[in-house]
Amino acid sequence: MQDFNLSRFFWDGVIEHFIMRRNIKLKNLLLTYCTTVGIKYEETRFFVDGYFFNHERTPNELGMQDYELIAAMGEQLGGGAGAA
């Protein structure tokens, strides 16, 4: 199985590079990334090309190319009309 070169963009502007197998679920990589940088997977949202994606899918299933960027953003709660 061919390796997949993946670039991941994190909200603080740091670009991390990872290599993984194309047939491995992306969730495994996302969990590892969260553990490495010390953030909670459950509170982080990931998307490719501006769209959320199923973390149970593989790069092959999503048609991802080498060096594709995955944006990671912290989940925001509150701050709506009630904030004063």
> Along the 84 residues of the chain, how does pLDDT read in single tens digits?
577 777 666 667 777 888 888 899 999 999 988 888 888 999 999 988 889 999 999 999 999 988 888 888 887 666 666 555
**Residue 49 C-alpha from the chain's centroid:** 11
pLDDT for the residue 30: 92
pLDDT for the residue 27: 95
Residues 74 and 14: their CA atoms lie apart, in Å, by: 14
pLDDT for the residue 7: 67
Helix (H), strand (E), coil (C) string for 9-48:
EECCCCEEEEEEECCCCHHHHHHHHHHHHCCCHHHEEEEE
Q: Is 5 helix (H, G, I), strand (E, B) or coil?
A: strand
Please give the structure tokens belonging to residue 58: 């593989």
